[in-house]
Structure 1
Amino acid sequence: MNTRIRSILVAALALLGSAAAQAVTLPGPVVSAQWLAQHQHEVNIVDVRSDPASFVKAPVFSTGKGAKTLSTLGGHIPGALLLDFGKVRVARMIDGRQIKWMLPDQATFQALMRGIGVKAGKPTVIVPEGASGADLDMAARVYWSMKVYGDDHLALLDGGTTGWLQQGLAFDTTPAATGDGTWAATAPRMKYVADSQDVAKAIGSGVQIVDARPMPFYVGLTKKPDIGQAGHIRGAVNLPPELRTASTGGAEHYLSPAQYQAIFKHLDIKAGKPSITYCNTGHLASGAWFVLSEVMKNPNTRLYDGSMLEWTAEQRPVVGLP
């Protein structure tokens, strides 16, 4: 076989392999444990942890009244890649100020995803710890970051690792493989990102500004130490975390579009209106962005990455209690 024919065959096999990798179609932005169990070898499984050490520890179950329940999270879905949430956000200089917990630049984020082993040519299912709504928001932050950098083949695992374990599905405690990823980031798609100028222009313009924090933060009863002033951005509506997910057997799950619509009516939130979500540092805002952009299919939804940390550092106006 001459060199030219061999090269053609190699290229053809590579294309076939790529097509096979892309063959699985995600059913939507949220997948069930049952779906992932059937397709786990066809996707990247990115396990997002606030406590990476729990990835290799055995889960602890308790038995009471004949029922086996998860009491301490541990282990992971076989084949999962470990992503430390502490590395998902970085400090960046903006107009001479250092703002913490921001989206990394293109090269840094690509290196992070390649470093944990994410492969190109495969959809990615992002797995939260799953015991709280904040866990789902961490996974949504990763989803948003990957989408900003060009990836549209993404889903979140409903219920996360907690739900997976509670259903008695197989788990592993071996260390995660690292360093051989091929995932590539594109230039950032800024249609998913808002900055302070975008938010300032949105006030009173018809763009919906959505505060994703608990109500005490929204009304100004309390604030995080790093935030300069209590309260919310003028004109913002509140979509608090406790109304974005619901607990079933100790695992947090997303609601249906119809359920969100019913909730939005009470909160004066319009599902299809151009929107910008924010919180204190862009964590909880990722959950609100995910609900509006992905579950409710509103493509005109942006996330204000700097959120109240940047807004108040710039001494922009805030509405709060007298």
Structure 2
Amino acid sequence: MKKRYSILFAILSVAIWLPIYAINIPSTHLVSPTWLAKNMYNKLLVIVDTRRADEYNAGHIPDAVSIPVNSMMENRNGIPSYVASPDKIIKLFRQKGISNNSYIVFYSGNGRATSFVASTREFWTAWYYGLSNLAVLRGGFNRWKAEKRAISKVPIMLKHGNFTIKEMRLNTIATLPYVDYAVTTKKVQLLDSREPAHFFGRDNDPRLAKHGHILGAKELFIGNFSKKVGSYYEIGNESYIKTIFKKAGFNFDKPIITYCNTGYYGSGSWFVIRFVLNYGQTALYDGSMVEYSKMPNRSVIK
């Protein structure tokens, strides 16, 4: 009898610990719904829904936690898009069950060509604060639904994480002085991720003090990186993205700063450059045009 209980205990121990294992994240940091379904019950995995809270409540991927994208941003001096402070990120990540050994998959709705930028903005923030085991769900929630996978409306029981900041990837963020350096020296390329109307100053966005683009920037709309597949959009592969960059006149012998109005679209450009194209010399200007247009003695070109 004692031997039987010992065997049963051993079996239960294996069952309890089996879901904890290292996960292989692709070099592009893009994963498919099949990949997620295979790994979603690993205790180290945290699935993050970046959509609005009401969208999350209407239905989400099972066991996903809700972190709307603006939760990782903060307003300082009237600029709404700065990366959130270390204290705020530590508190948020711990509340959502994130630890330093977590694997995190971010997903958006992906019903539009630009939807994926909510995921890339949160990915960029986590990467900036030192996490590496990160991925974006290719095709997002719309692809998950299109493949008729399980959807839940049940809020999950949050476990407390123990995230601490062990390093910060400061070269991931482009500060205003670095943007000034790019404008003055032309040794750094500037990528404007917005639509042509914004680039050429034909918009009426009230957040901007001046309309147009940074001197020397090239326009490459973030929506160009997505391909429509049925009811969802997904980021194209390396060959597809590389062709788009070549046509837009970018090269990969100089660093690239990405920007938009508030750092959403720019994060998508940063992501595809850094991981889909595997080019490390890129940084996001998170203040973007909302900040730049309000700065004195800076040229905004139409």
TM over 0.5: yes
Structure 2 letter corresponding to 1:304:
Y
| Aligned residue number for residue 260 of structure 1 | 241
CA contact (8 A) 1:261 1:271 kept: no
Query: 1:252-298 deviations in whole A, cap 9, x for unaligned?
Result: 10111101111112110224531100100111100111111111111
Q: 1:292 aligns with which of 258, 273, 278?
A: 273
User: Aligned to 2:133, which of 153, 168, 176?
Assistant: 153
Deviates more, 1:204-213 or 1:31-40: 204-213
* Cα offset, 1:48, TM superposition: 0.7
Q: Measured at CA, do residues 121 and 187 of structure 1 come closer, stay the same or move farther in structure 2, by a change above 3 Å?
A: closer
Q: Deviations over 1:153-177 (max 9, x none)?
A: 1110001111101101111110133
Counterparts of 1:132 and 1:182, CA distance in 2: 35
How large is the RMSD of aligned CA atoms in angstroms? Answer: 1.9
Gaps of 5+ in 2: 1-12
Aligned-residue offset at 1:219: 1.4
Moved more, 135-144 or 80-89: 80-89
Residue aligned with 2:290, SS:
helix
Alignment match, 2:301: 319
Which of residues 127, 136, 139 in structure 1 aligns to 2:119? 139
Q: 1:222: Cα distance to partner?
A: 1.4
Determine if the alignment matches structure 1 residue 124 to structure 2 residue 104. Answer: yes
1:87 is aligned to 71
CA offsets, 1:74-98, max 9 Å, x none?
A: x111111111223121112xxxx43
Q: 2:158 matched to 1:163?
A: no
Measured in 2, the distance between the counterparts of 1:22 and 1:235 equals 47
Q: TM-score, normalised by structure 2?
A: 0.88
TM superposition shift of 1:21: 4.0
Q: What's the offset of the Cα at 1:20? A: 7.5
**Cα deviation digits, residues 34-73 of structure 1 (max 9, x gap):** 1111111222111111x2122232xxxxxxxxxxxxxxxx
Q: What one-letter code is carried by the residue in structure 1 that aligns with 2:162?
A: T
Shift of 1:318: 0.7
Corresponding residue of 1:32: 32
TM-score (normalised: structure 1): 0.83
CA distance in structure 1 between the partners assigned to 2:114 and 2:53 by the alignment: 16
State how far apart, in whole Å, the 2-side matches of 1:130 and 1:40 are.
20
Is the Cα contact below 8 Å between 2:83 and 2:125 reproduced in 1?
yes
- Quick check: 160-169 or 106-115, which moved more? 106-115
Q: Secondary structure at the match of 2:50?
A: strand
Give the corresponding residue for 1:7: none
- CA deviation map 1:224-258 (0-9, x unaligned): 11111111001111110221111211211011110
Report how far residue 200 of structure 1 moved. Answer: 0.6
Q: After superposition, give the CA deviation of every residue in 1:96-136 in whole Å (9 maximum; x if it has no partner).
A: x4321210111111111221222432211111122123321
Q: Percent identity?
A: 28
Q: Is the 8 A contact 1:117 1:177 kept in 2?
A: no
Q: Is the Cα contact below 8 Å between 1:127 and 1:161 reproduced in 2?
A: yes
Range 112-121 or range 148-157, more displaced = 112-121
Q: Which residue of 2 aligns with 1:198?
A: 178
Aligned-partner SS, 1:101? strand
Match of 2:53 in 1: 52
Match of 1:211 among 182, 189, 192: 192
Q: 1:194 is paired with a residue of what secondary structure?
A: coil
